[in-house]
Amino acid sequence: MEFENLVKLIQTVSDSELTQFSYEENGVSLCMKKEKKQKLITVENTAVSQVAGVEINGSCLETEEAGKEAALSGNVVKSPLVGTFYASPSPEEEPFVKVGDPVRKGQVLAIVEAMKLMNEIESEYDGVVEQILVSNEDVIEFGQPLFVIS
């Protein structure tokens, strides 16, 4: 594949809703995976996620802003699996927790759906929810920070 066509292909995958793309031609294979990189900005109790980044064969090409993630202070609850994040038990119900809520070790913070199974994410710490780093129905990765509890 010519370099110009490769660049067009990368741009097309980046602009699309695809999360993974594989291509093979004449014994050469190309695999691209798009990951969400999130940066949390808090403005008067409003959180905004910014997304950027495309992964190509394990190395991520990121924008400068996505690469400058601030260190999270406090106890970080990370995702134990890949799946879809749900903040509440059902769409009609209130979220399990909100920023500022006190939590106890073992308390359910969210649900992650993986392979049609609902997995409860429990707090590993006693404290107060300082930040919620993902939005309802976000696709999350293994080890991705979800909550900051202090």
Poorest-confidence range of 5-14, 48-57, 64-73, 124-133? Answer: 48-57
Same domain as 93, residue 48: no
What is the distance between the alpha carbons of residues 146 and 130, in angstroms, rounded to a whole number?
Answer: 11
What's the CATH number where 81 sits?
2.40.50.100
Residue-wise DSSP of 50-117: EEE-EEETTEEE--HHHH-PPPPPSEEEE-SS-EEEESSSSTTSPPS--TT-EE-TT-EEEEEEETTE
Instruction: Judge if 146 and 99 occupy the same domain.
Output: yes
Q: Reduced to 3 states, what is the DSSP secondary structure of residue 5? A: helix
Where in the sequence is the domain holding 131, given as residue range(s)? 71-150
Q: Give strand pairing partners of 114.
A: 117
List the single range of 47-56, 75-84, 102-111 with lowest mean pLDDT. 47-56
Instruction: Note the pLDDT of residue 7.
Output: 76
Share of the chain above pLDDT 70, in %: 72
User: Tell me: the pLDDT tens digits for 117-149?
Assistant: 999 999 999 999 999 999 999 999 999 999 999
The reply to whether 43 and 95 lie within a common domain is: no
Alpha-carbon distance 62 to 27, whole Å? Answer: 28
**The pLDDT of residue 86:** 95
| Cut 0.85: pTM above it | no
- Return the higher-pLDDT residue of 106 and 45: 106
Mean pLDDT of 23-32: 74
- Quick: pLDDT tens for 105-120: 999 999 999 888 999 9
Based on the fold, state whether residues 133 and 81 are members of the same structural domain.
Answer: yes
Question: Looking at the predicted structure, is the pLDDT value of residue 63 above 60?
Answer: no
Last residue of a domain, one of 34, 69, 104: 69
Neighbouring residues of 150: CB distance < 8 A, sequence distance ≥ 6: 73, 74, 75, 127, 128, 130
